[in-house]
Structure 1
């Protein structure tokens, strides 16, 4: 067994003291290697957690002799002369990152994501692990790991430990509820108003809807670990039988806007307990924490989860159809705002998460596995329903994945997913994959056709801002300066402007929070713009193109004259009246 000991001396420094103790057999290797994870499951990019490590020392526990240690890479250490010894590894970990994937220490709490700070021994990742925490009197401990003693946690393996965050605090609040005898815990750290009756009822409703979809659960219990913060924040990360959610500002928790976010992210993260934590891509069986784990199916892991995270809230009666459509329309806006959808497929975007998937990146390069992934999941779900008159849907695809791969612990491949979709559809769905997963075909027409089956339509409206709709560029005000931030390829602006241009005048009129008005004065749409580009004053022509419009607003709405059949189909899909 590998033992970890966690303590802290001065929380004002944010440093946590970590100790790792383990035995090395006499016949064991003369050298061993210690690895600190370089990334964490749920965020598929290298994060280099070794930046947070200070003063690594390796000792013989009995003699306190220092063992020879050499750093091999940025996050890997070689220890010599360990055979036949009980080895202690000491180091400090800087816990000063308050988000759902981070760690935090102050005088009010210890919040720890083990994947950030705990090393493992290469080749011994499957050994059981025990974590003991030295905590002040009166502090409570929230974690998905079983507690085997006071402030003592037990993990089956390093993978189990790394995927089990904890919060320890004297001010933790919690409530629990059950669905099909399965216990769920809602933990809240933070000073905030909580309507526990409403919260528990809504959480129970969407939990029951998810459990009914899959038929069984991957774990013995589940923990929602909520950090409710005094400032604006939004983040969630999935784990084996828990999630961490960071949300704020705290005083607004039960207001409609922030409560909506809490429900959405919570439903999303619970769905991940099946989809990615158990139904795992073959490339991640097991995780390799030392390097990138490339996989092409994040449109399943994140895209389908993004779709279900909002859809199941409506299906469970927690949200109205109108509220659900508002969330869908946000996804549509984010997808259609970025012309990268013409340049990168969903499968390739999954690979590129490791490159720049969580950053804005260069203009028009990539597509979101979350947003487009959710839209193609919606398209697939309604298509399966239309082909079978609601006898089959994406629900059956997900349950098959759970039964064949989640319950068995076998990783699935792209071909496994395609096979299951074809079998559920009862026909060859390769055109869907070629166009929307491996290609960059537009979604408007197929989505509108699919939505018609459930009495809805895609509505396309003109953008009211002429800079965006007529000329294809966006600006932002910075210190009373109007700066260009985005330009669409092939638009009139692309022939005249560049990102970071400061627009100072239109046809000789000074720009002062009046750009839209100044670009609406001429019917021939011919303008001269005065811009500062790299501190040089230039005059450039800006000429609109008749009939061509950009950045249109695309929304999903109910058909005003839906047939009785369409209305019945809507009820089958959303479990709500039309």
Structure 2
């Protein structure tokens, strides 16, 4: 492409449309987690050029300050002469250059952040998310890009971008580059076709994974996307799998995903189902958040937070649909799905924050979401609670329309209207779609379940589809409402559930437990000591706070001996069975 551009210049018909940004990274000495990046920006008017490293990456809604991996920055002109520059903020370099001249920047990037899925370079592979590796310039953001990797001889490189030779790729602009991570190394590679699309599975790291089984199961799963949407936003899709030393997580991209699991968590079946669930979740994101997304994120602003009240739709609804693809492909059994529902219900009931914060508010505040005790007591998780809100909306739609409309139809309509990426949607757009599909307003429902904290009646969600909820019976097991960690040699409280027994007794996180009713508490005893008591008993808790020994009287609460369960109704009606099938698109199970 560069040769064509030079010919155009020589002919006196230079066209900005032919200009492109050339990216290169040298990975030939990867053992110290380092690569050398070279970027050539084309000629443009102006005596300065601002180049930037993103402050965050898509799929993780928190500021990561990705420029912290950059060192040795230099800038030169077309003749190789050094250009002056200065930092104007933490992520921006302002280069002084002659107007109308190209600029080449070089820098070293340190890549040892595997868990962040931003950049990881070592002697076995390189994972490059452009947000943590390749700078951009606003004025050149929409111009074509090329990427070239210099790699050890045994390595191959894979990406959702168009391949253009060994270790070379092209993309129509930087936004496609930043949404198309590159995986390079001596990997396992498998390919398969499904529903007219080509899929690639690239695995890095040794472990108990079975690539052939993974391909067979992914081939069953991916066509089930068409039970929600009609059509695909890609022709080729790449699954990148990292078998790691303990790091876990996953990130969705435009036509690819990276999935990280500890290397021995691909078997047995219950662990392997975790992989399939993650693959389903990330694949669904190809539509929900990548093809269409909230207007506040169109286009992505990589310099600051992109606030929206709809992250519960992008993450929670994706989580809600995740097991549905596995059910419809036969990879998950109905009983396993019922078990997931029961776990979600149990977690919800033990999360006091559900009565404090709405899913809309939590979406907006996700950029500063806390962890640990406060997350449980005063916050809601946009994944789990967003999935419950999605479930409630799905059942409400099915009941309202006699099974004619489901939440799937809402997402298909979002894809139809906003899937070209030209603009994003709002909460008002979603409510308008609900009204169009059903013939009446859903503002009251939205106000109750989305814009306000809600206490969901799960039995009422299950009954219309022929399921019942057993919460485990009467409370018979003593409960204090706390958790502790002994890694520092002492039993330090790490969580105290709001309005629970320990909370009401005045205990708080970081208190160090030493005794209950005068009996010493250590790691082993902590796990069993409440077995000596029953709900309603009063115990004396001795603990250190600010290095002072204190005591509190604690009245124990209770919990059922059994966990909640979801099961088939005893005598389901034909109507319940029919609505169950419209809900999950699988037959109502036989007892």
User: Closer, same or farther in 2 for the Cα pair 1:91/1:361, shift >3 Å?
Assistant: farther
Q: Distance in 1 between matches of 2:177 and 2:534?
A: 65
Aligned mate of 2:513, from 503, 507, 515 = 503
Match of 1:320 in 2: 333
User: Closer, same or farther in 2 for the Cα pair 1:253/1:514, shift >3 Å?
Assistant: closer
User: Closer, same or farther in 2 for the Cα pair 1:422/1:358, shift >3 Å?
Assistant: farther
Structure 2 unaligned blocks of 5 or more: 1-19
Q: Please list, as runs of the form range in 1=range in 2, the aligned pairs for 1:268-287 lying within 5 A after superposition.
A: 268-287=281-300
Per mean C-alpha deviation after superposition, the further-off stretch among 85-94 and 556-565 is 556-565
Q: Distance in 1 between matches of 2:371 and 2:82?
A: 41
Aligned pair count? 565
**Structure 1 residue 362 displacement after superposition:** 5.7
**Structure 1 residue 248 displacement after superposition:** 1.8
Match of 1:411 in 2: 424
Residue-by-residue CA offset, 1:509-563 (whole Å, 9 max, x unaligned): 3334445545744786222222222221112222357xx8699954433323433
Q: Distance in 1 between matches of 2:580 and 2:205?
A: 40
Residue-by-residue CA offset, 1:411-463 (whole Å, 9 max, x unaligned): 111100111122223332222211111001201x2x32121011112322356
Q: Is the 8 A contact 2:479 2:530 kept in 1?
A: no
Q: What SS is found at the alignment partner of 2:139?
A: coil
**Structure 1 residue 569 displacement after superposition:** 3.0
Match of 1:426 in 2: 439
2:492 matches 1:483: yes
Q: Distance in 2 between matches of 1:499 and 1:17?
A: 45
**Structure 1 residue 394 displacement after superposition:** 0.8
**Structure 1 residue 234 displacement after superposition:** 2.4
- Structure 1 vs Structure 2 CA RMSD: 2.4
Match of 1:345 in 2: 358
Q: Distance in 1 between matches of 2:121 and 2:52?
A: 23
**Structure 1 residue 184 displacement after superposition:** 1.6
Match of 2:271 in 1: 258
Q: Is the 8 A contact 1:21 1:88 kept in 2?
A: yes
Q: Distance in 2 between matches of 1:542 and 1:100?
A: 41
Residue-by-residue CA offset, 1:291-335 (whole Å, 9 max, x unaligned): 111111011111100001122211221100112223333333433
Q: Please list, as runs of the form range in 1=range in 2, the aligned pairs for 1:448-527 lying within 5 A after superposition.
A: 448-461=459-472, 465-468=477-480, 472-478=481-487, 481-496=490-505, 497-512=507-522, 513-515=524-526, 516-517=528-529, 520-521=532-533, 525-527=537-539
Q: Is the 8 A contact 1:483 1:503 kept in 2?
A: yes
Q: Distance in 2 between matches of 1:102 and 1:22?
A: 23
Match of 1:242 in 2: 256
Q: Is the 8 A contact 1:528 1:540 kept in 2?
A: yes
Aligned mate of 2:310, from 274, 297, 308 = 297
Q: What SS is found at the alignment partner of 2:353?
A: helix
Q: What SS is found at the alignment partner of 1:416?
A: helix
Q: Distance in 2 between matches of 1:371 and 1:73?
A: 36
**Structure 1 residue 380 displacement after superposition:** 1.2
Q: Is the 8 A contact 1:233 1:249 kept in 2?
A: no
Q: TM-score, normalised by structure 1?
A: 0.92
Match of 1:224 in 2: 239
Match of 1:54 in 2: 71
**Structure 1 residue 118 displacement after superposition:** 0.9
Q: Is the 8 A contact 1:248 1:258 kept in 2?
A: no
Q: Is the 8 A contact 2:353 2:375 kept in 1?
A: no
Structure 1 unaligned blocks of 5 or more: none
Aligned mate of 2:141, from 116, 119, 125 = 125
Aligned mate of 1:177, from 181, 187, 192 = 192
Match of 2:301 in 1: 288
Residue-by-residue CA offset, 1:256-275 (whole Å, 9 max, x unaligned): 13311110011110111100
Aligned mate of 2:173, from 154, 157, 174 = 157
Q: TM-score, normalised by structure 2?
A: 0.90
User: Closer, same or farther in 2 for the Cα pair 1:396/1:358, shift >3 Å?
Assistant: farther
Match of 1:540 in 2: 552
2:218 matches 1:199: no
Q: Distance in 1 between matches of 2:63 and 2:136?
A: 17
Residue-by-residue CA offset, 1:462-495 (whole Å, 9 max, x unaligned): 5665133xxx333344466333332233333223
Match of 1:557 in 2: 567
Q: What SS is found at the alignment partner of 2:112?
A: coil
User: Closer, same or farther in 2 for the Cα pair 1:8/1:480, shift >3 Å?
Assistant: closer
Q: What SS is found at the alignment partner of 1:32?
A: strand
Aligned mate of 1:65, from 81, 101, 124 = 81
Match of 1:38 in 2: 55
Q: Distance in 1 between matches of 2:278 and 2:226?
A: 17
Match of 2:106 in 1: 90
Q: Distance in 2 between matches of 1:440 and 1:552?
A: 28
Q: Is the 8 A contact 2:34 2:108 kept in 1?
A: yes
Q: Distance in 2 between matches of 1:315 and 1:464?
A: 38
Q: Is the 8 A contact 1:24 1:82 kept in 2?
A: no
Q: Distance in 1 between matches of 2:475 and 2:158?
A: 48
Q: Is the 8 A contact 1:45 1:292 kept in 2?
A: yes
Q: Is the 8 A contact 1:32 1:122 kept in 2?
A: no
Q: Distance in 2 between matches of 1:301 and 1:82?
A: 45
Match of 2:397 in 1: 384
Q: Distance in 2 between matches of 1:416 and 1:524?
A: 50
Q: Distance in 2 between matches of 1:543 and 1:278?
A: 53
Q: Distance in 1 between matches of 2:571 and 2:511?
A: 47
Q: Distance in 2 between matches of 1:48 and 1:268?
A: 26
